[in-house]
Structures are given as C-alpha cells and as structure tokens.
Amino acid sequence: MTARRYTALVLAGRRGVMDPVAAAEGIAHKALALVDGRPLIAWVLDALRDASIVADIIVATDESDVARAAEGFTIVPTAASPAATVARVLGATPSLLVTTADHGSLSPALIETFCAGVPLACDVAAAVVPRRAFACRPARRTFYRLADDDYCGANLYAFVGARGAAAAAFWAGLEAERKSPVRLAARIGPTTLLRYALRRLDLAAAFALLSRHAGAAIAPVVLDDADAAIDIDTPEDLALVRARLSAGRRCGRSP
C-alpha cells in the first residue's frame, strides 16, 4: 500500500497582543526569533521539507516579515482562529499535517514517527506526550491529568478523514480553554468534568468523548519524546531550543 503523503500547514498567526517571546526579543512575531542565526520558522520549514511524507507546505500568516522568512512556500492568510484557519485550508486539501511556527524541536524523524502512528480509521490524529517522557528534565507544559498518565499536546495534528472539517469547527469553539484542562472538560459537559476531576478518564476514553462531541473520529498518537512537546511560549523555551539546535549543528546532525 502506498504511504499517505501530506500537505503541511504551518500556523504562524498572532493571538491578539504581543507575546512575551516577541517582546523579549524586540521583534514583531516570535517566529522571527533567531536561532543559530536563522529565524525560528526556517527550522520548522526545513524539518517539514526534509520529511519524505510531506509533499507540499503552506504557511498561514498575515505578517509580512514572517511571509518573507517563508519565501518560496505557499502563503495564505489566517482566519479568525487557528482552528478556523485549518478548516479553511481543509476545503482544498484532503490530507493535512498541521503544526506551528514555534515548534522549535520539530524534526523529520519526529514527523515520520507521528505520521506512522496515525490510525487508518480516523478523521483526525493529535500528537500527545506523556509526563513519563519528561522524567529526566523539567517540564513547564499544560498537562491533562488522566487515569493512565498525564499528557500534554505537541502541536502536531493530521487531518485525514472526511469529517476533519467538523473536528476543526468543534475545536474552534474550545480554543479559548486550551490552557485550562478543567475548563476544557467543563465545556464538553458536566459528566466529562466530573470524570476528569476524579481521574476516571484514561487517554482512550478522553478521545472517545472528544470524538462523540465533535462528530468525527479523533485519535491520539502517543510520542514518548519530550522534545515533541516543546513549543516556544516563553523566553526560557526559546533559550532551550537555541541550545539544542546549536548543539545539533555543532555535532553535524539534524535536530
């Protein structure tokens, strides 16, 4: 069977006010923060371009400086929210791999591992990282406390089924709560909130509930790699990614 190939969508919009990374760096957008002399978004685009499973790359941004940093790739405007942007692009692209411009530790190997784990019978797959992956390193992530482990997201999604747009529309209604697991559970329903509070939801049950409410089959892909969960929300995150990518270059290997 021929492996599915994806169009990759890099979300490089802005959420209202200037974020702390951009403010600390004195730049308009954190995707322009320099890492080993290159804009952060260039590292993300390199990882996608070098992944054999990626056939095309789209960057969603309204920032002219970000668009210039992504010259040579297809640029589209953002919609009202990241999920709305995904829904819009899905209208013309059946197999869509979604990530963000601040996914500084993205690598071709990580992309290939995630895509290999996408179930055949799903509309959307979302990468998650268990707390156990952070056993030997500090973790300042938003964790969802489930019965089998705590999990955080990894800003890596695959939209592969006919109901992917329905899932994106559902997520658009929940985006404001993405940093608060309790409020997110409450928005889905009081029973979900109670089960979450009592830690009676494991990963499979949580995604089954999401699927039922979204009207689409949403599946998790567990990545036992702490680097998969590193997006750049703070100057400390940026320092960590700078150290890692610089070390990788000195050793002559890809991040």
Kindly give, in sequence order, each residue whose CB lies less than 8 Å from that of residue 170, ignoring residues fewer than 6 positions away: 213, 214, 215, 216
Residue 224's nearest CA partner among 131, 103, 94, 121 is 131
Whole-number pLDDT of residue 66: 95
- Residues 39 and 69: their CA atoms lie apart, in Å, by 7
CA distance 135 to 246: 23
Name the nearest CA neighbour of 48 among 91, 97, 85: 97
pLDDT of residue 169: 83
Contacts 24+ apart (CB under 8 A), 198-203: 199/145, 199/146, 199/147, 200/147, 201/146, 201/147, 202/146, 202/147, 202/148, 203/128, 203/146, 203/148, 203/149, 203/151
Quote the CA–CA distance of 60 and 69 in Å, as a whole number: 12
- As a 3-state breakdown, the chain gives helix, strand, coil percent values, each rounded to 5, of 40, 20, 40
Contact at 8 Å (CB) between 101 and 31?
yes
Against a cut of 0.85, is the pTM above it? yes
Dihedral sign computed on CA atoms, order 222, 32, 108, 112: positive
Domain boundaries, the chain: 6-249
- The fold adopted by the segment(s) 6-249 is Spore Coat Polysaccharide Biosynthesis Protein SpsA; Chain A (3.90.550)
Q: pLDDT 10s per residue in the chain (255 long)? A: 346 899 999 999 876 666 899 999 999 899 999 998 999 999 999 999 999 999 999 999 999 999 999 999 999 999 988 888 999 999 888 789 999 999 988 999 999 999 999 998 899 999 999 999 988 776 678 888 899 999 999 999 999 988 998 888 888 776 655 556 666 666 666 666 657 676 888 999 989 988 988 899 999 999 999 889 988 888 998 998 888 877 665 444 444
Q: Are 222 and 168 in contact (CB under 8 A)?
A: no
* Strand bridging mode 124-130 / 218-222: parallel
pLDDT at 250: 45
So what's the pLDDT on residue 144?
A: 86
